[in-house]
Amino acid sequence: MPQMVQLEIRGVGGAAAEEILGGPVTQTAGDRTAGFYKPDTPRSGDRDVEAYEWGRLTSGASSTAVWWILFPFTLMNVAGWMFQPTENERRNPDEKVRSSLWWGRLLVVIGGLAITAVYVVWTVTLTTEIVAFGCAGSAECSSRWYVGPVGWFGSNPVWLTTVGVGLAALLILGLFLFILRSQDKLEGYEADPARRTIGSTDQRRSDTNRLRRNTTLENQGFWYRWEEHRRLFRW
């Protein structure tokens, strides 16, 4: 009879593997963000006890707190993912369905461009109207220690102030791009190399269907969702 494995997963608190298993542990799979661990000293009994540590998925550097700024883009991405044909519609393509999906995706793209434009306009408005020509033009405002550097804008010619404001706006927009950069987590992950198919799209789709023929959790290809990932990352 195969050995039974008891996998312990803690809740939102994201307890460390050492705390879950009550002693020193060794990582057996995963990476620094999330992984599986087993105790260095096996427990007695009819099953092996292991732990899944995932706390770093919901925590990390303080810079991750600025992700909320991009929440509107998250909603637009979710809206884009909603416009996907069903399995039946893929097998029996219909011109009316294709047209509705196309128009839906177009509206999502327009909405995304509108949000991007709003972010750019507000960035320029904040740096120009409020900071450079508003606060910097007031001695009372620019004299405060936490806005002291903006006094530079008020003590220079208008053209130089405009250039400085433009550079500040570009810096902020560059920060947005830095936040948007891919973390190469899920995007860089594929199934076990032994089950990975290298070839055309049709070959990979055939491999996906073969691995997913058995839809129970005991199937090793249950989580092989290349087709779904390809559609999601298209947005």
Tens of pLDDT along 148-173?
A: 555 555 566 666 666 777 777 788 77
Question: Cβ contacts of residue 139 below 8 Å, gap of 6+?
Answer: none
Question: Cβ contacts of residue 82 below 8 Å, gap of 6+?
Answer: 104
pLDDT of residue 198: 44
pLDDT of residue 16: 84
Tens of pLDDT along 1-13?
A: 457 888 888 876 6
> Could you tell me the pTM of the whole model?
0.48
Please give the helix or strand (H or E) that residue 28 lies within, else none. strand 25-30
Burial class (CB in 10 A: 0-12, 13-18, 19+), 121: exposed
pLDDT of residue 156: 61
Residue 47 β-bridge partners: 4
Q: How far apart are CA 176 and CA 88, in angstroms?
A: 39
pLDDT of residue 218: 57
Q: What are phi and psi of 103, to 5 degrees?
A: -65, -40
Stretches in the chain below the pLDDT threshold 70: 1-2, 12-14, 59-65, 86-87, 89-90, 132-134, 136-139, 142, 144-162, 179-235
